[in-house]
């Protein structure tokens, strides 16, 4: 038996165990997680004093243990459990795995396989969508999917069975047969239905009823200026995904909690773009990753947060928590919604480390494999709306942080340089901050530091 087991004595001489383990009995395997205490009592009729555990209607023999007391009454308490997978002979049940500590259920988004398909052990067969991440349901064994016992769109909890898998594939119809069986039978033609003839009914004199009142006058025609809603047959109603509902709730909470104020500045991108153009090939050859603009802004943000530590702080009740570390959150738009992976300890990273971490997190975010731990925390957020063509915006603070930096598209504009009007690649940047904690002076100084570092990256080398 693998796992951590805490053993203590209970009244009457029984054992009380709390365990998180993978349990093996005979040739069958049952994997489970028990979060509460399970009382194990000695079994009867065994010379070796074998202890037994009743679980989900089945009894398993545990390793022999010494009996410490006699005349013990059988008692078992199993109040809260979460099942990983269970199998019985040839059939194996695929169930919803454990999720993060703060997630209790999810929505069965879609099946990745069909009944009759061959699957390997640990191969994903379905996806569970939660309010934070998408979780794969893996096949516990190699075999053929016999049937699905849950439907897409259902709310499922850890331990919910969603599919049955046959390890041998016997008795499972091929996918074509399954599709034919699932297809609804066509209804008989309308002319085959027998309709009773009117002549066969006996004539019955109908009682006289009062004449109905005259219909009301038709409503007046709408004028050309009145708005007209589209007809119902051109509307579509689709439930919000859990991730979208979570994002909406957090953004509204941010708007209701913070005293948000936004300050703006503009940055001349000439030098940073020239730096990337000159060294991109050598940078790629040495570090195996492309040199982008985001790493320059992350380094500039780190420098600004070190000069204005109040922007890296947060309000907690009547206290202010100052952080001596800098975890930069990068907002990433994915097909399923907005996620914010975190670059940990950005103050200790160089340009190459930042670019590698951004690429890794962005790939995980787009393919849905990013974990909650990789999105948790963060002391400051950078949102780059410029990749979508945004010229100017006021970003919303990502709770519980105190500020967010908004980057925008680079546009060539006429600028006055040395008394001459010349075209320069310019970017508007915006800082939205919690005015309860951060004054305008600190916010403007921070944004000014971003501008100085991006326009002259040599300041990072000289620490000026």
Residues forming the active site = 435, 439
Q: How far does Cα 142 stand from its chain's mean position? A: 27
Q: Is 84 helix (H, G, I), strand (E, B) or coil?
A: strand
What contacts 378, CB < 8 A, 6 or more positions away?
327, 328, 329, 340, 342, 398, 401
Q: Which residues of 70-94 are buried (b: 16+ CB within 10 A; e: fewer)?
A: eebeeeeeeeeebbbbbbeeebbbb
Cα distance between residue 400 and residue 391, in whole Å: 27
Residues 6+ apart with CB under 8 A from 106: 96, 99, 128, 129, 130, 135, 155, 156, 242
Helix (H, G, I), strand (E, B) or coil at 91: strand
Q: What is the dihedral of CA 38, 41, 42, 45, to 10 degrees?
A: -100
**DSSP run (H or E) holding 444:** helix 440-455
Please choose, from the candidates 426, 430, 449, the residue with its C-alpha nearest in 3D space to the C-alpha of residue 269: 426
Q: Tell me if 18 sits within 8 A of 37, measured CB to CB.
A: yes
Strands (E), 199-273: 260-268
Closest CA to 29 of 91, 87, 89: 87
Cβ atoms of residues 397 and 403 within 8 Å = yes
In angstroms, rounded to a whole number, what is the distance separating the alpha carbons of residues 337 and 248? 10
Going by C-beta distance under 8 Å and a sequence separation of 6 or more, which residues neighbour residue 131?
Answer: 103, 242, 243, 245, 246
């Amino acid at each position: 038996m693998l796992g951590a087991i805490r053993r203590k004595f209970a009244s009457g001489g029984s054992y009380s165990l709390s365990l998180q383990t993978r349990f093996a009995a005979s040739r069958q395997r049952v994997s489970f997680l028990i979060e509460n205490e399970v009382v194990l009592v000695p079994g009867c009729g065994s010379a070796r004093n074998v202890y037994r555990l009743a679980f989900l209607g089945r009894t398993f023999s545990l390793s022999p243990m010494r009996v410490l007391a006699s005349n013990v009454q059988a008692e078992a308490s199993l109040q809260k459990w979460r099942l990983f997978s269970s199998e019985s002979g040839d059939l194996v049940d695929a169930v919803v795995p454990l999720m993060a500590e703060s997630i209790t259920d999810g929505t069965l988004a879609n099946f990745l396989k069909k009944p009759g398909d061959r699957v390997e052990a640990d191969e994903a067969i379905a996806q569970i969508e939660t309010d934070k991440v998408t979780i794969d349901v893996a096949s516990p064994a190699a075999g053929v999917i016999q049937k699905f016992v849950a439907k897409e769109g259902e709310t499922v909890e850890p331990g919910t069975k969603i599919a049955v898998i046959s390890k041998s594939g016997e008795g499972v119809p091929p996918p074509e047969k399954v599709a034919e069986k699932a297809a609804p039978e066509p209804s008989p033609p309308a002319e085959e239905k027998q309709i009773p003839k009117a002549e066969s009914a006996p004539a019955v004199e109908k009682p006289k009823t009062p004449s109905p009142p005259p219909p009301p006058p038709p409503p007046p025609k709408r004028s050309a200026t009145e708005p007209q809603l589209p007809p119902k047959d051109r509307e579509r109603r689709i439930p919000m995904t859990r991730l979208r509902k979570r994002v909406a709730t957090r953004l509204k909470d941010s708007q209701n909690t913070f005293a948000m104020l936004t300050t703006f500045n503009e940055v001349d991108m000439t030098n940073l773009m020239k730096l990337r153009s000159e060294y991109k090939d050598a940078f790629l050859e040495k570090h195996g990753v492309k040199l982008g603009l985001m790493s320059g802004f992350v380094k500039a943000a780190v420098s600004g947060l070190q000069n204005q530590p109040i922007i890296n702080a947060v309000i907690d009740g009547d206290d202010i928590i100052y952080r001596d570390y800098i975890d930069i959150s990068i907002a990433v738009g994915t097909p399923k919604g907005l996620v914010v992976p975190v670059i940990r300890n950005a103050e200790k990273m160089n340009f190459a480390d930042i670019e590698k971490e951004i690429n890794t997190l962005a790939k995980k975010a787009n393919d849905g494999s990013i974990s909650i731990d990789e999105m948790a925390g963060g002391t400051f957020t950078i949102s780059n709306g410029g990749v979508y063509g945004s010229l100017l915006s006021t970003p919303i603070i990502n709770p519980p942080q105190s500020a967010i930096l908004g980057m925008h598209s680079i546009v060539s504009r006429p600028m006055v340089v040395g008394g001459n009007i010349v075209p320069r690649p310019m970017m508007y940047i915006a800082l939205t901050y919690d005015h309860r904690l951060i004054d305008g002076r600190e916010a403007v100084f921070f944004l000014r530091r971003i501008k100085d570092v991006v326009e002259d990256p040599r300041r990072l080398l000289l620490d000026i």
